[in-house]
Amino acid sequence: MLGLSLVLPRDPFHQLTIVLCIVGLFLATIFIFALKPKSKGQPPSTIEAYLKFIYGCFLKPHTGDGSGSQQDALESFYKAQADVYDATRLRLLQGREDMLGLVAAQLRHRTEAGLISQRPVWVDIGGGTGHNVEQMNAFLSVPDTFRAVYVVDLSPSLCDMARKRFARLGWTNVKVVCQDARAFRLHEHEPQAHQRKELILQGQTVRDLDENADAGGAELVTMSYALSMIPEFYPIIDSIDSLMSPNGVIGVVDFYVQNQVDFMGRNYMGGAIDRHCMWISRVFWRTWFEIDRVNLEPARRDYLEYRFGTVLSINARNNFFSTGIKLPYYIWVGCSKDHGASTQKLAEIDAAATESPYLSALDLQTGATPTDVEVRSKAYESAIVNLQSSLPLPATWYQNHHWRIHYDSALPKHTRFNDSYIYAFTWEDDVADMRLLKPTANDVVLAIGSAGDNILAFCLENCRRVHAVDLNPSQNHLLELKVAAFTALGYQDVWKLFGEGKHTDFHDILIQKLSPHLSSEAFQFWLHKGPSVFSSSSSKGLYYSGGSGNALAIAGWLFRILGMAEDVKKLCAAQTLNEQREIFQRSIKTVIHSKILTWAILGNEKWLWKALGVPPAQRNVIEVDFKKQEDFDEVKATTPKKDAAADYMAFHEEPSDEALRSNSGNAIYEYVLNTFEPVINTTLLSTSNHYYLLTLLGHYTPQCHPTYLSPKSHIKLSKPNAFNGLRIHTDEISEVIARMRPGTLTIVVVMDSMDWFPPSGNQALKQIRALNRALKVKGRVMLRSAGLEPWYIKVFGESGFACKRVAIRVPGSCIDRRVNMYASTWICTKEVGLEHEDGKANFRKASLAELKLEAPALHMQ
């Protein structure tokens, strides 16, 4: 401060004079460099480039020749900075490479799927200097992949730079067209399309000159920061439909601003993560860009989404020159609105979601609905509403795979999860499940998705259909990521993602390999969350994310604070059970015995729910059993000894609320202790128990991992048709099975979700009755419970099921060898359909009514 006061005079007039002189010198420098003749053969320096950029964007008057045409305006703007355009747009125009990577991945997938049978044609509207075409070579070889590339732009200066670029590269299949994009017609440049024009002149009926993949239609159309600069954008967007082949792809990246009020209620835009812009951002950026005739009003993007089907949609922010000023931009990948909208395709997808027989002839028009119509999925209903309103179908209908069933992400039941998952891994032992259920290729399975590990286990068994259900969209996003990874990646990449939980190239493989196999919602989620989970230097990996990751992080923190980190490593590396037991007894057991842990964590309802996924209703189940056992122990001490197993289950009346409150925390403590100790005593973590190895290490090892992460499993799950039978539902179980054809499911796995229902109310009864309706006779429901004999088992028995406890946990023993997390496992088999019981009840009611009507007549006789 002292040095500054010595330099600047204290008189305000003199200070202002000095500031004006500095500004004047700066402006003079800009004009000198901007107006300096171009040096031949030498590119301008970085400083010179940005000075020209400032001059062209903020100082130069854009008068042109006074004609007022769009070409004149563009040329006036770009001519002075054409030679520095690429150098100055690298940081300003972000997202271009990602857009190119996404459309390249789509083209590659469609070619492999047989949807594109020839070398594609690419039209880059507003292609400018040809920068995008050169950058595409990093994803697809431009000379070898494309039959022809057309760079269409209205600025002669930029087109001249593009011609020089491709002459330097020697790419003869790239053609630069200096023309208004509204007037560009592909048939005027493609010989095959010109032949089609001649056929039309001979009287043959062809829907459009350009729209045919076998006669010159473009398989790829892109616009990179061009749509916002076109005044008449409606005809440009309309013309894309005629340019593009039926199986073609559109890619757009551009600036935007939008209020959430504009897009609320739309089900076809592919997700709304970060789409809303604050009012100050909307006002500032719209006003700022209008100076240079760049228009950010939302109508351009809205009309694009209305005119075509959305495949992928991304909303992002450019941290402008690392100043903290965030400039909104979007990336959008689309296709023809009619792609995937055929009656046949709608019927096939709907039949798979509802387990209904496929109907080849469906009436998608308005009109009377037959009374015997098959049940319909929510996805089908949304599609019909959109078709009747001339809107595109929801984005899920335009995906390359139809694993994910459409859902309304704006509903409060989904938004309450705040775009986060609780479980990064699944606690259910898939080996125990398969042993108990013995699924076959004829089974139709419905199971809670969670982190997806158990769903992959059923897919490994080649079940005819696997319905994965989870109310939390983010849990299904995780399952989608796993399915996409097996579909597109080699074993090493899959292992890095889900074995180690880290992948330094996550962003690149998401864009270039996984994107064609993800729904738009899931892709948005992982583009925003994935880098911080998988590849950030500050991240510890996938298994430290989500609610369950908090538990792993806290456990690791406690071990470090208590100086047990080395013992944890030794425990995970122990080669014998004796060595493992000794380490556990010596140090780690003291953490579980800690009263602070019991009071602060195990006795805290919010922590149990957020980190461990234990809701209050399930906690109550644990505490009820604890109180029963405590009371029984008192009676047992004063009575003769009986059979141990019978004694353990000889519970009496339900404990009171006051009794439960007095044991708060202690019940969970005993439950946790009875969970861990038998596992440590019976299974070797380093080779046989990946569940607890993960909780201690934060990752799996090549010697110890889930079944789906073995090389053999990768061979099975990476086959082309491995997931044809998978359907991922984002909804409650009751909502999904209510829309299924009765008597179609053979196996239902509800994990411990029945514990979540309160004993009061009829939610459990409704779900159990719905399960009865959806299951075949002899169909099975497998469930686990934190209770030894949960209250709802009686409800199953009263609802047509034969219930059998197939495993029970008693102190000192393991219920399923590796997890030991639950107190009991049950299989409830459907013996009789409720429709049969309801029919008999209705018959009895009708008979009684007839008797009442006949009684007066009998009395008169």
Provide the token pair at 714.
């990768």
Domain assignment of residue 310, yes or no: yes
Provide the token pair at 448.
């809670």
Give per-residue pLDDT as tens, 383-438: 888 888 889 999 989 999 989 999 999 899 999 999 999 899 998 899 999 999 99
Domain assignment of residue 349, yes or no: yes
Closest listed residue to residue 79, CA positions, set 106, 57, 98, 101: 57
Give the pLDDT band (50/70/90) at residue 644.
Answer: very low
Give per-residue pLDDT as tens, 151-174: 999 888 888 889 999 999 999 999
pLDDT of residue 857: 34
Give the pLDDT band (50/70/90) at residue 604.
Answer: low
Mean pLDDT of the chain: 80
Domain assignment of residue 594, yes or no: yes
Q: Among 50, 67, 86, which residue terminates a domain? A: 86
Structural domain for 668, as ranges: 546-697
**Are 349 and 225 found together in one domain?**
no
Q: Could you give the CA distance from residue 409 to residue 730 in angstroms, rounded to a whole number? A: 9
First vs last C-alpha separation in the chain? 119
pLDDT of residue 662: 45
What is the residue type of 773? Answer: R
Q: Could you give the CA distance from residue 14 to residue 857 in angstroms, rounded to a whole number? A: 118
Q: Among 646, 672, 697, which residue terminates a domain? A: 697
Tell whether the model's pLDDT for residue 90 goes beyond 70.
no
**Are 109 and 207 found together in one domain?**
yes
**Are 311 and 364 found together in one domain?**
no
Whether this model's pTM surpasses 0.75: yes
Tell whether the model's pLDDT for residue 752 goes beyond 80.
yes
Domain assignment of residue 556, yes or no: yes
Tell whether the model's pLDDT for residue 7 goes beyond 60.
no
Tell whether the model's pLDDT for residue 361 goes beyond 50.
no
136 contacts 105 by C-beta, under 8 angstroms: no
Torsion of CA 45, 126, 306, 342, to 10 degrees: -120
Q: Among 62, 86, 110, which residue terminates a domain? A: 86
Q: What is the mean pLDDT of residues 591-610?
A: 55
Domain assignment of residue 382, yes or no: yes
**Are 172 and 103 found together in one domain?**
yes
pLDDT of residue 834: 84
pLDDT of residue 362: 41
Give the pLDDT band (50/70/90) at residue 135.
Answer: very high
Domain assignment of residue 274, yes or no: yes
Give per-residue pLDDT as tens, 236-262: 999 998 889 889 999 999 999 999 988
Bridge partners, 250 (sequence order): 221, 334
Closest listed residue to residue 770, CA positions, set 738, 805, 743: 738
Tell whether the model's pLDDT for residue 581 goes beyond 70.
yes
pLDDT of residue 788: 87
**Are 46 and 142 found together in one domain?**
no
Domain count for the chain: 4
**Are 359 and 284 found together in one domain?**
no
Give the pLDDT band (50/70/90) at residue 671.
Answer: confident
Domain assignment of residue 615, yes or no: yes
Tell whether the model's pLDDT for residue 630 goes beyond 70.
no
pLDDT of residue 122: 96
pLDDT of residue 209: 43
Domain assignment of residue 509, yes or no: no
**Are 578 and 645 found together in one domain?**
yes
**Are 361 and 286 found together in one domain?**
no
CATH number for the domain harbouring residue 222 = 3.40.50.150
Tell whether the model's pLDDT for residue 200 goes beyond 90.
no
Please give the backbone phi and psi of residue 808, each rounded to the nearest 5 degrees, phi first: -140, 145
Query: How many percent of the chain have pLDDT more than 90?
Result: 47
Give the pLDDT band (50/70/90) at residue 217.
Answer: confident
Q: In what order do the strands lie in the sheet with 444-448?
A: 726-729, 465-469, 444-448, 745-751, 775-785, 824-830, 801-808
**Are 196 and 311 found together in one domain?**
yes
Q: Tokens 């998988």 map to which residue?
A: 534
**Are 215 and 72 found together in one domain?**
no
Q: What is the mean pLDDT of residues 525-534?
A: 95
Q: What is the mean pLDDT of residues 118-131?
A: 91
Q: Could you give the CA distance from residue 720 to residue 487 in angstroms, rounded to a whole number? A: 7
Lowest-confidence segment of 342-351, 362-371, 668-677 by average pLDDT: 362-371
Which has more confidence, 488 or 810? 488
Lowest-confidence segment of 6-15, 588-597, 699-708 by average pLDDT: 6-15
Q: What is the mean pLDDT of residues 70-78?
A: 55
Closest listed residue to residue 70, CA positions, set 231, 235, 300: 231
Give per-residue pLDDT as tens, 427-479: 889 999 999 999 999 999 999 999 999 999 999 999 999 999 999 999 999 99
**Are 82 and 97 found together in one domain?**
no
**Are 308 and 191 found together in one domain?**
yes
Selection from 67-81, 225-239, 283-297 with the highest mean pLDDT: 225-239
Closest listed residue to residue 58, CA positions, set 335, 289, 341: 289
Cβ contacts of 135 within 8 Å, gap of 6 or more: 96, 97, 100
Q: Could you give the CA distance from residue 445 to residue 333 in angstroms, rounded to a whole number? A: 34
Give the pLDDT band (50/70/90) at residue 717.
Answer: very high
Give the pLDDT band (50/70/90) at residue 483.
Answer: very high
pLDDT of residue 547: 86
Q: Could you give the CA distance from residue 682 to residue 832 in angstroms, rounded to a whole number? A: 40
